[in-house]
């Protein structure tokens, strides 16, 4: 019977060509949207790697002030640490967690170069973000006395840079003049939000006299409120006249980052939802018309021995065959993505998206064909033959 259905649809391919194209287009859009969803969902299911609930970002900007910037930053840091509401504080570069800023660079080891996000911090970051170590330890003041810059990397960076070796205590090249020594390895650090992938990351310890990295991450005690925020801003502004002082909550920054990811996904979902609805309505209409046009054939098949359920199965089978034609064409395009490693995504993401898109297309065509097929089966054979 399957062969018969393939033959029937193949012989009518001209008539069905637009429908085949429509299902193909729906599959391609669905594949794109599902790839995006699977990618984000997989990222979401991965732990973010650090704590941010009670963490504030104090952003200091020296503006026109160029005198003793490093000393002023150190004083501000001391002041922040002195509050009883503060559990821990750490200075870091402007690419604080969930911020839109990014600092990218590459690091080399044994002719292997890996690009990643660089975070310039002091030795206190792990206390503020509760960053657990997998191996080694966090860098400390004493490490700055050594020949190499103390570094901590994440697992992703270790995997890419050292392949199957351990990266601990290895010396890596940062640029022509600078080399660093890896003293610790953290697990994950998804600094750009829960929906972002865990990119290779490197934490680079700067010296106390650094004047460029002016963000202070502050871990506050639970229950610390806006009164403290106002006091903090007022005190620091008084200490650093002419400087810009802003406080942001990492929790809020995370929400903003999440929205930046979710909004495009939502837009794609709405667009593909409209497209799929159109495809479904189109299929439904075409099938209804088909049944009206093929009453004689339905009567004939009943006369030749088809049961009611046989007629239903035939019409469902026809739509599945038609969908299969579209999906075969769609799959030729879709499999290029994992094969050619497009956008550097895991193959698994594409494969899951392909399988889900195929399943959804079959579900949609089945739902659309179910009612018309049942209608076809309900046509009385004597009436169908007479009408012809």
Partner 1 sequence: MIKLQNVEKVYRTSSIETLALNNINIDVKKGEFVSIMGPSGCGKSTLLNIIGLLDAPSKGQIEIDGSPVERYTDKHLAELRNRKLGFIFQSFHLINDLSVIDNVEIPLLYRNTSAKQRRELAQEALEKVGLSNRMKHFPKQLSGGQKQRVAIARAIVGKPEIILADEPTGNLDSAMGNEILGILQKLNTDGATIVMVTHDEAMAKKTDRLIRLFDGTQVS
- Applying CB under 8 A, the residues found at the interface with partner 1 are 1, 3-4, 7-8, 11-12, 296-297, 299-308, 310, 380-382, 385-386, 388
Q: Given the complex with partner 1, which of 8 and 356 has the nearer CB atom?
A: 8
As measured in angstroms, the least distance from the Cβ of 4 to partner 1 is 6
Nearer to partner 1, 40 or 373 (CB): 373
Is the Cβ of residue 222 or residue 305 nearer to partner 1 in the bound state? 305
Q: How far is the CB of 387 from partner 1 (least distance, A)?
A: 10
Q: Considering beta carbons, is residue 3 or 177 the nearer one to partner 1?
A: 3
Cβ of residue 266: shortest distance to partner 1, in angstroms?
Answer: 43
136 burial level (CB within 10 Å; 0-12, 13-18, 19+) = middle
Beta strands in the chain (DSSP E): 55-61, 86-92, 104-109, 112-121, 133-136, 149-154, 171-173, 179-186, 201-205, 215-220, 244-249
Output the smallest distance, CB 9 to partner 1, in A. Answer: 9
Q: CA 372 to CA 291: how far, in whole Å?
A: 7
Cβ proximity to partner 1: between 192 and 302 the closer is: 302
Least distance in angstroms from the C-beta of 378 to partner 1: 11
Whole-angstrom distance, CA of residue 34 vs CA of residue 266: 12
Residue closer to partner 1 (CB basis): 215 or 290:
290
Please, what is the minimum distance in Å from the beta carbon of residue 288 to partner 1? 19
Specify the residue, 1 or 340, whose C-beta has the smaller distance to partner 1. 1
- Is the Cβ of residue 229 or residue 308 nearer to partner 1 in the bound state? 308
CA distance 387 to 318: 23
49: part of which helix (H) or strand (E)? none
CB of 299 to partner 1, least distance (A): 7
Closest contact distance (angstroms) between CB of 328 and partner 1 is 20
- Between 7 and 207, name the residue whose CB sits nearer to partner 1: 7
Pairing outcome for strands 133-136 and 179-186: antiparallel
User: Residue 88 and residue 217: Cα distance in Å, rounded?
Assistant: 8
- How does strand 133-136 pair with strand 215-220? unpaired
Q: How far apart are CA 182 and CA 169, in angstroms?
A: 5
Q: Would you say 7 and 313 are in contact if contact means Cβ atoms under 8 Å apart?
A: no
Please report how the helices 250-293 and 13-45 are oriented relative to each other, as an axis angle in degrees rounded to 10: 160
Smallest separation, CB 272 to partner 1 (Å): 33
How far is it between the farthest Cα atoms of the chain? 100
In this structure, the strands spanning 149-154 and 179-186 are parallel
Return phi, psi of residue 266, to 5°: -65, -40
Q: Residues 124, 213: contact at Cβ < 8 Å?
A: no
């Amino acid at each position: 019977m399957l062969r018969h259905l393939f033959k029937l649809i193949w012989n009518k391919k001209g008539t069905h060509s637009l429908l085949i194209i429509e299902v193909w287009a729906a599959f391609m859009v669905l594949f794109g949207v599902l790839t995006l969803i699977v990618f984000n969902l997989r990222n979401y299911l991965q732990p973010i790697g650090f704590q941010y609930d009670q963490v504030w970002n104090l952003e200091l900007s020296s503006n026109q002030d160029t005198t003793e910037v490093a000393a002023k930053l150190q004083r501000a840091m001391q002041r922040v640490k002195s509050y009883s509401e503060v559990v821990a504080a750490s200075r870091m570069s402007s690419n604080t967690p969930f911020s839109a800023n990014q600092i990218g660079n590459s690091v080399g080891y044994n002719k292997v170069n890996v690009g990643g996000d660089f975070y310039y911090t002091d030795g206190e970051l792990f206390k503020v973000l509760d960053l657990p170590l997998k191996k080694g330890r966090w860098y400390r003041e004493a490490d700055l006395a050594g020949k190499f810059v103390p570094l901590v990397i994440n697992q992703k960076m270790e995997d890419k840079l050292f392949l199957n070796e351990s990266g601990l205590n290895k010396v890596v090249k940062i640029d022509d003049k600078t080399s660093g020594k890896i003293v610790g390895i953290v697990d994950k650090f998804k600094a750009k939000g829960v929906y972002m992938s865990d990119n290779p990351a490197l934490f680079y310890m700067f010296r106390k006299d650094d004047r460029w990295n002016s963000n202070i991450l502050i871990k506050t005690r639970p229950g610390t409120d806006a009164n403290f925020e106002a006091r903090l801003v007022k005190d620091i502004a008084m200490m650093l006249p002419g400087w810009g002082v802003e406080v942001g909550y990492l929790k809020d920054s995370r929400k903003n980052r999440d929205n930046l990811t979710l909004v495009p996904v939502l837009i794609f979902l709405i667009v593909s939802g409209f497209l799929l609805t159109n495809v479904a309505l189109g299929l439904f209409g075409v099938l209804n018309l088909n049944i009206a046009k093929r009453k004689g054939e339905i009567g004939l098949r009943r006369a030749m021995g088809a049961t009611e359920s046989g007629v239903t199965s035939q019409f469902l089978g026809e739509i599945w065959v038609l969908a299969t034609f579209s999906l075969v064409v769609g799959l030729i395009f879709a499999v290029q993505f994992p094969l050619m490693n497009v956008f550097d995504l895991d193959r698994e993401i594409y494969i899951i998206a392909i399988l889900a898109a195929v399943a959804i297309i079959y579900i949609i065509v089945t739902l659309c064909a179910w009612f018309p097929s049942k209608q076809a089966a309900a046509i009385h054979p004597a009436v169908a033959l007479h009408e012809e």
